């Protein structure tokens, strides 16, 4: 194992690194000349949206390129060793021992055929006594607050939860006491309440051993807890780099500011009594056996937004399926405009179907890739309103204008649109039916931050114009603040509470709501420290 | 009970069920025979009495489910019925029990298939795995292009090409594989060389391509990338990280191709006049000797089901998720 | 992936806009980029198609015209000699293209109508019908199809109609499985759910939402299934239980002239006579495989197409 010395000396230096990726049968530059310097014991946050090249750059710091990528030029020097020139064998001596990698999906990154502890110490046993390494691994498990640290290593990867697996992977990276750890979106796949524990465990252990780290993520609030300084990437180029506190308080570039613009959005809540749609005492189950909803009651006031929040498995999406009629409830009913709706989709009239529309999380899969924009928006016009030919096309153009796109889009295919444009087309398709209620299922969570803001503003404007009622399903509290009037908190298939935004987001909290709200990372480098201190204090 | 045991038992039961349904289908085939079938077998001159006696022997006067259980019962006790051939309109019956026809030929076919498998399986696995490891290399591309071409060849084309070059022109191997029960082992191997080689060429192409695809799929798993990023040596990545997870896909590939071999054997046996069960079946089809056809079909189907069942069971017992339940 | 940097506006967001091209232009563009093997395959297929369609015009003699000299040598009046009863081998080869390819094509089409139709229905229905069809197909597929075909032919006799129907039904099991699998991937897409929520009928969903999205794998499968059917029919004919004389067909031509191969040392051309139809079969399947290989490669990257 390496002894730590010379804090503050340059550990990793990358200069003008360029990386090509192979797609469409040719090479494209995906990292376009990035510089990076990391000193011993420092933690750097690498942040950017999808396609910014951050993961590619993180792997390049190890001198590694995924299949379909290649390092074309530049300089990568790790502790005096030129990684561009080093052979695979030379790099292999560094990998796992002096530079370790923590992957995004722990479930996929562990070999299903071997026990956790064997995988944890695999890189270490080459140099150290096996029994010693195992003992050390058990101690690492303990300091990462894994349950039953003495025995958890004897389990197989599929026998422990995702959050635990992510911590075991951190122990695996830490086992040989490397000089540098690359964390590649390690908490992205976790629920917020789990994320807090994993984050604090990772941060403590990195601090404890004074390891340098590169922390890659798209979530600025998360990285603010971990990093000493932050580098923002966009389209494979550096936007800016600054110490964490400076970056949060005084970002220089407009692009960086836009990264948290959604968090600045806040809609003033407006109470209302006229109920457009209500779900009354609904129980539902899949296949008659697994009960997924118990006694769910939700009221949506006309012209307002009700946000339904909760973690994965809380029953938010199932509630949407009950409202749309895809999953008839076993008991309870859905009342729309004062009249109960038939439980099953096929028993509902065309007009009832028209008045409740749905927008999906993944605009990609919500549009038929073989239909043009004109066909996609035109179909509800034809189907519900009987418009055709010239009239239909004119209406499609009007709808395109409403969503801030022009007529040139009418004969594009979905593959020719950006993520935000796709979601706009889905909004237009819902609007085309002239609905009263729109169910929005995580409509912004697959989008980049800057695009999210645009979509949310658009939804708010349309709500004003047409008096629409939104049921807004999301797990993101910033989005809730930006759009909702009322909030419903769901947990394990039941409603924890419903009320006005100010009531739910302010005390007194039921326990679960409090846990959920406090686990959402905030744009404050001291947030995690404060939260852990507060929770430990109790 | 351990989940592996329950899953294996489930799979075995499913295999038996399939075999049961397959036997019903094969049995039902005789039901579909045209009504004047007796005359066809016995000849135009058959008297009404002989035809009636023949129908009675087939049990056509009993309800079909009774006949099915009679048939399946005797099949299980090793009695496959009596061949149609050798019957004459005169009523003289020189027909032989099907089992006597099938047994020696089944042994011959198993010998040929076994000989092929011993050469083909290791060769295909070697070629497939190396092609996957050295993906996109000249070696990989050459092997790929060659096998893509060979897959497209009908078996008899490969067979006659081999006869032309290795038997007719150079006299290296005999082109007739007329082995008998008394043929000594080495001579048997020599006579079976060309049929075995033909089958090997056909099978290796398929098996190599499937192995390559399975290994490439495996090597693309994130845990393989993780192992590399842990600095694990290339050899150890393959042996320790890829291999334990490779048994299932490899077993599936081998079983699929051995099953393919079972079918490929038919054409090859005819080309080389090899006295196997495939040739017997083709002859029986030409003479419409239904009991023999049924027996052969049942044997082929049972082998096929058994092979796939074996692959399933190997996949189950090597699956860590089932071996180590939560 | 986005290329350039730009300030935010909805319309200005970077999407990948493809240049508008007509279908012919797109096809031509794809063809120009096609590798040599694909070109080779397409030319061979076209040539076979031409020969098959214009067989009576190209062939020097009649399909079953018998000449006095059996096993006549190559050259002279008979380019590839005559067969065992004195029919012109070249003529038989040309008519064989028509018969063998025609029958295989008809069989494959029938297999796709049966298997594809039922597969789509099973993917959408997903209840008892799907269960019933899937279990039935599992059982049919537990018997090797060549063996099954042999058994059924022994019962129904080797007429062309029974040959086509038997092979089509047996082969439709594989088409069923593939169609069901790819259609299931599409059925779970949100856009299909969106169509159901809109209240669209089953016909519209099948025709407009699902079918266009499963065409590429089905087209590729058509090529592969054609090869398989073609080889199966050739094998059956070679075994003497497929296409029956006097219809000219490549499989039985190989069988009829097979004995000539023994004389390779004395007359190499005679020995090649049975290999000609065998090579004709091999060349066509190689060609189709090359084209399918290219097509699969091409359509697997459909979404990234510029």
For residues A387-393, give the mean pLDDT.
90
Could you tell me which chains touch chain B, where touching means 3 or more CB pairs under 8 A? A, C
Task: Give the CATH number for residue B140.
Answer: 1.10.3720.10
Question: Within 13 Å, how many C-alpha atoms sit on residue B47's CB side?
Answer: 6
pLDDT band at A467 (very low <50, low <70, confident <90, very high): very high
Question: Is the domain of B124 the same as that of B90?
Answer: no
Do residues C227 and C287 lie in contact, with contact meaning Cβ atoms separated by under 8 Å? no
Question: Is the domain of B136 the same as that of B259?
Answer: yes
Could you tell me which chains touch chain A, where touching means 3 or more CB pairs under 8 A? B, C
Flag whether pLDDT at C302 surpasses 60: no
Q: How many domains, in total, are found in chain B?
A: 2
Give how far the C-alpha of residue B89 lies from the chain's centroid of Cα atoms, to the nearest Å: 37
* Distance between C34 CA and the closest CA of chain A, angstroms: 12
Flag whether pLDDT at A193 surpasses 60: yes
Contacts of C207 in chain A (CB under 8 A): none
The string of DSSP letters for A106-147 reads: HHHHS-TTS-HHHHHSTTTTTTS-HHHHHHHHHHHHHHTT-S
> Structure tokens of B248?
């299932």
| Domain enclosing residue B30, as ranges | 1-96+289-326
pLDDT at A77: 93
For residues A462-467, give the mean pLDDT.
92
* Distance between B304 CA and the closest CA of chain C, angstroms: 7
- The contact set of B with A (CB < 8 A) is 220-223, 225-233, 240-241, 244-245, 320-321, 324, 326
B143 CB-near residues (< 8 Å, 6+ apart):
B127, B131, B208
Flag whether pLDDT at A156 surpasses 60: yes
pLDDT band at C301 (very low <50, low <70, confident <90, very high): very low
pLDDT at C60: 84
User: Nearest CB to C13: which of A25, A365, A420?
Assistant: A420
**Cβ atoms within 10 Å of B39's Cβ, excluding its own:** 17
Contact B160 C275 (CB under 8 A): yes
pLDDT at C176: 93
Contact B157 C278 (CB under 8 A): yes
pLDDT at C3: 34
Torsion of the alpha carbons at B17, B18, B20 and B26, rounded to the nearest 10 = 170
pLDDT at A253: 85
State whether residue B213 sits within 8 Å of chain C by CB.
no
Question: Is the domain of B146 the same as that of B233?
Answer: yes
Question: Is the domain of B189 the same as that of B324?
Answer: no
pLDDT in tens, A47-78: 887 778 888 999 999 999 888 888 999 999 99
Could you tell me which chains touch chain C, where touching means 3 or more CB pairs under 8 A? A, B
pLDDT at A190: 78
pLDDT band at B88 (very low <50, low <70, confident <90, very high): low
pLDDT higher at A332 or A415: A332
Question: Is the domain of B174 the same as that of B294?
Answer: no
Percentage of chain A modeled with pLDDT above 90: 37
pLDDT band at A1 (very low <50, low <70, confident <90, very high): very low
Do residues A440 and A468 lie in contact, with contact meaning Cβ atoms separated by under 8 Å? no
Contact B282 C240 (CB under 8 A): yes
Question: Within 13 Å, how many C-alpha atoms sit on residue A281's CB side?
Answer: 3
* Distance between B82 CA and the closest CA of chain C, angstroms: 17
pLDDT in tens, A70-88: 899 999 999 889 999 888 8
For residues C86-113, give the mean pLDDT.
91
Contact C10 A362 (CB under 8 A): no
* Distance between B90 CA and the closest CA of chain C, angstroms: 24
In this structure, the strands spanning A331-336 and A275-286 are: antiparallel
Question: Is the domain of B144 the same as that of B274?
Answer: yes
Question: Is the domain of B204 the same as that of B322?
Answer: no
C50 CB-near residues (< 8 Å, 6+ apart):
none
Contacts of A103 in chain B (CB under 8 A): 222, 225-226
Task: Classify C35-299 by CATH class.
Answer: mainly alpha
Contact C3 A235 (CB under 8 A): yes
User: How far is it, in rounded angstroms, from Cα B231 to Cα A149?
Assistant: 25
> Structure tokens of B152?
């497209």
Question: Is the domain of B166 the same as that of B278?
Answer: yes
B130 CB-near residues (< 8 Å, 6+ apart):
B139
Flag whether pLDDT at C33 surpasses 80: no
For residues A450-476, give the mean pLDDT.
90
Contacts of C155 in chain B (CB under 8 A): 29-30, 32-33, 288, 290
pLDDT at B1: 72
* Distance between A510 CA and the closest CA of chain C, angstroms: 35
Question: Is the domain of B234 the same as that of B160?
Answer: yes
Question: Is the domain of B261 the same as that of B319?
Answer: no
Percentage of chain A modeled with pLDDT above 70: 97
Flag whether pLDDT at B47 surpasses 80: no
User: How far is it, in rounded angstroms, from Cα A308 to Cα A437?
Assistant: 15
User: In chain A, which among 44-103 make CB contacts under 8 A with chain B?
Assistant: 62, 64, 66-67, 92-97, 100-101, 103
Flag whether pLDDT at A322 surpasses 90: yes
Contact C282 B157 (CB under 8 A): yes
Contact A421 C303 (CB under 8 A): no
pLDDT at C20: 56
User: In chain C, which among 195-254 make CB contacts under 8 A with chain A?
Assistant: 196-200, 208-209, 212-213
Contacts of A94 in chain B (CB under 8 A): 231
pLDDT band at B318 (very low <50, low <70, confident <90, very high): confident
The three-state secondary structure class of B139 is helix
pLDDT band at A319 (very low <50, low <70, confident <90, very high): very high
Contact C241 B290 (CB under 8 A): no
Torsion of the alpha carbons at B56, B57, B63 and B69, rounded to the nearest 10 = 170
Question: Is the domain of B107 the same as that of B253?
Answer: yes
User: How far is it, in rounded angstroms, from Cα C220 to Cα C228?
Assistant: 13
Residue A181, φ and ψ in degrees, nearest 5: -120, 135
Contacts of B239 in chain A (CB under 8 A): none
pLDDT band at C201 (very low <50, low <70, confident <90, very high): confident
Contact C17 A416 (CB under 8 A): yes
What are the residue ranges spanned by the domains of chain C?
35-299
pLDDT at A377: 94
User: How far is it, in rounded angstroms, from Cα B151 to Cα B203?
Assistant: 8
Contact C11 A51 (CB under 8 A): no
pLDDT at B66: 80
User: How far is it, in rounded angstroms, from Cα A14 to Cα A26?
Assistant: 26
Flag whether pLDDT at C1 surpasses 60: no
In 3D, which of A522, A56, A360 has the Cα closest to residue C196?
Answer: A360
Question: Is the domain of B193 the same as that of B316?
Answer: no
State whether residue C190 sits within 8 Å of chain A by CB.
yes
The three-state secondary structure class of C54 is coil
């Amino acid at each position: 194992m390496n002894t730590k010395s010379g804090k503050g000396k340059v550990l990793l230096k990358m200069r003008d690194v360029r990386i090509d990726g192979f797609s469409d049968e040719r090479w494209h530059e995906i990292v376009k000349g990035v510089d990076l310097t990391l000193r011993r014991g420092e933690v750097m946050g690498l942040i950017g949206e999808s396609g910014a090249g951050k993961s590619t750059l993180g792997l390049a710091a190890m001198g590694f390129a995924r299949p379909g990528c290649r390092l074309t030029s530049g300089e990568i020097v790790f502790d005096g060793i030129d990684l561009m020139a080093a052979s695979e064998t030379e790099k292999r001596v560094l990998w796992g021992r002096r530079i370790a990698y923590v992957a995004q999906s722990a479930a996929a990154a562990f070999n299903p055929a071997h026990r956790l502890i064997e995988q944890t110490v695999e890189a270490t046993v080459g140099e150290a006594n096996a029994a010693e390494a195992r003992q050390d691994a058990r101690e690492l498990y303990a300091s990462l607050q894994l349950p039953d640290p003495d025995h958890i290593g004897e389990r197989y990867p599929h026998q422990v939860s995702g959050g635990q697996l992510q911590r075991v992977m951190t122990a695996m990276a830490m086992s040989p006491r490397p000089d540098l750890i690359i964390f590649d979106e390690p908490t992205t796949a976790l629920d917020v309440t789990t994320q807090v524990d994993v984050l604090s465990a990772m941060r403590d252990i990195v601090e404890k051993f004074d390891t340098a780290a590169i922390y890659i993520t798209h979530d600025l609030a998360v990285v603010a807890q971990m990093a000493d300084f932050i580098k923002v990437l966009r389209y494979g180029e550096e936007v800016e780099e600054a110490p964490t506190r400076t970056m949060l308080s005084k970002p220089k570039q407009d692009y960086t500011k836009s990264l948290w613009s959604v968090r600045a959005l806040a809609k003033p809540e407006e109470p209302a009594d006229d109920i457009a749609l209500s779900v009354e005492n609904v129980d539902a189950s899949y296949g008659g056996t697994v009960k997924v909803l118990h006694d769910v009651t939700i009221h949506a006031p006309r012209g307002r937004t009700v946000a339904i929040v909760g973690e994965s498995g809380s029953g938010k999406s199932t509630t949407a399926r009950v409202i749309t009629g895809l999953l008839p409830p076993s008991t309870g009913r859905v009342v729309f405009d004062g009249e109960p709706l038939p439980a099953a989709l096929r028993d509902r009239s065309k007009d009832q179907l028209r008045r409740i529309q749905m927008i999906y999380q993944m605009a990609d899969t919500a549009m038929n890739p073989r239909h043009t924009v004109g066909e996609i928006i035109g179909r509800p016009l034809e189907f519900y309103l009987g418009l055709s030919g010239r009239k239909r096309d004119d209406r499609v153009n009007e709808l395109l204008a409403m969503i801030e796109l022009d007529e040139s889009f009418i004969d594009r295919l979905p593959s020719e649109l950006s993520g935000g444009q796709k979601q706009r087309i889905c909004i237009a398709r819902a609007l085309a039916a002239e609905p009263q209620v729109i169910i929005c299922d995580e409509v912004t969570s697959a989008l980049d931050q800057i695009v999210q803001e645009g979509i949310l503003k658009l939804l708010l404007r349309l709500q004003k114009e047409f008096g629409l009622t939104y049921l807004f399903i999301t797990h993101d509290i910033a989005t809730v603040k930006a759009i909702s009037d009322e909030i419903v908190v769901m947990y394990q298939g039941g409603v924890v509470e419903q009320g006005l935004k100010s009531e739910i987001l302010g005390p007194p909290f039921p326990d679960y709501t409090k846990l959920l709200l406090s686990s959402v990372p905030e744009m404050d480098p001291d947030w995690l420290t404060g939260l852990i201190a507060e929770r430990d204090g109790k | 009970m351990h989940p592996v045991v329950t899953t294996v038992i489930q799979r075995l039961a499913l295999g038996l069920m399939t075999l049961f349904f397959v036997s019903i289908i094969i049995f039902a085939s005789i039901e579909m025979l045209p009504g004047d079938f007796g005359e066809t077998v016995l000849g135009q001159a058959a008297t009404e009495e002989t035809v009636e006696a023949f129908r009675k022997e087939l049990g056509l006067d009993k309800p079909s489910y009774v006949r099915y259980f009679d048939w399946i019962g005797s099949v299980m006790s090793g009695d496959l019925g009596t061949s149609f051939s050798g019957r004459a309109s005169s009523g003289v019956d020189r027909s032989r029990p099907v089992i006597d026809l099938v047994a020696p030929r089944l042994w011959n076919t198993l010998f040929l298939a076994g000989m092929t498998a011993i050469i083909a399986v290791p060769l295909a696995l070697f070629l497939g795995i190396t092609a996957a490891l050295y993906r996109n290399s000249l070696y990989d591309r050459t092997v790929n292009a060659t096998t893509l071409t060979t897959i497209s060849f009908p078996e008899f084309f490969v067979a006659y090409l081999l006869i032309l070059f290795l038997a007719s022109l150079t006299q290296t191997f005999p082109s007739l594989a007329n082995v008998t029960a008394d043929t000594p082992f080495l001579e048997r191997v020599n006579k079976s060389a060309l049929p075995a080689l033909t089958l090997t060429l056909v099978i290796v192409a398929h098996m190599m391509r499937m192995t390559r695809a399975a290994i490439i799929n495996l090597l693309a798993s994130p845990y393989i990338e993780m192992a590399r990023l842990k600095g694990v040596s290339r050899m150890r990545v393959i042996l320790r990280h890829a291999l334990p997870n490779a048994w299932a896909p490899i077993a599936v590939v081998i079983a699929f191709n051995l099953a393919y071999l079972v079918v490929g054997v038919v054409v090859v046996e005819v080309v080389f006049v090899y006295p196997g069960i495939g040739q017997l079946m083709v002859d029986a089809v030409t003479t419409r000797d239904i009991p023999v056809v049924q027996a052969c079909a049942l044997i082929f189907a049972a082998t096929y089901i058994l092979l796939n069942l074996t692959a399933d069971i190997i996949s189950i017992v090597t699956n860590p998720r089932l071996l180590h339940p939560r | 992936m986005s290329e350039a940097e730009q300030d935010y506006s909805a319309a200005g967001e970077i999407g990948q806009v493809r240049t508008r091209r007509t279908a012919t232009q797109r096809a031509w563009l794809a063809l120009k980029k096609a590798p040599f093997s694909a070109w080779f395959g397409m030319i061979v297929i076209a040539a076979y198609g031409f020969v098959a369609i214009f067989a009576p015009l190209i062939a020097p003699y009649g399909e079953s015209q018998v000449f006095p000299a059996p096993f006549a040598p190559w050259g002279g009046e008979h380019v590839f000699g005559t067969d065992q009863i004195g029919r012109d081998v070249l003529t038989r080869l040309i008519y064989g293209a028509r018969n063998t390819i025609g029958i295989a094509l008809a069989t494959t089409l029938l297999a796709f109508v049966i298997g594809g139709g039922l597969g789509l229905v099973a993917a959408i229905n997903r209840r008892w019908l799907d269960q019933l069809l899937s279990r039935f197909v599992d059982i049919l597929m537990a018997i090797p199809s060549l063996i099954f075909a042999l058994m059924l032919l022994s019962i129904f006799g080797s007429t062309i109609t029974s040959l086509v129907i038997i092979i089509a039904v047996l082969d439709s099991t594989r088409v069923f499985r593939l169609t069901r699998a790819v259609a299931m991937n599409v059925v779970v897409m949100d856009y299909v759910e969106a169509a159901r929520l809109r209240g669209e009928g089953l016909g519209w969903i099948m025709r407009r939402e699902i079918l266009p999205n499963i065409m590429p794998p089905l087209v590729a499968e058509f090529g592969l299934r054609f090869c398989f059917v073609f080889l199966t029919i050739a094998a059956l004919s070679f075994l003497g239980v497929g296409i029956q004389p006097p219809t000219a067909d490549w499989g039985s031509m190989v069988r009829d002239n097979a004995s000539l191969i023994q004389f390779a040392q004395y007359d190499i051309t005679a020995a090649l006579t049975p290999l000609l139809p065998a090579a004709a079969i091999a060349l066509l399947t190689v060609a189709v495989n090359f084209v399918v290989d290219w097509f699969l490669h091409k359509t697997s990257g459909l979404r990234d197409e510029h």
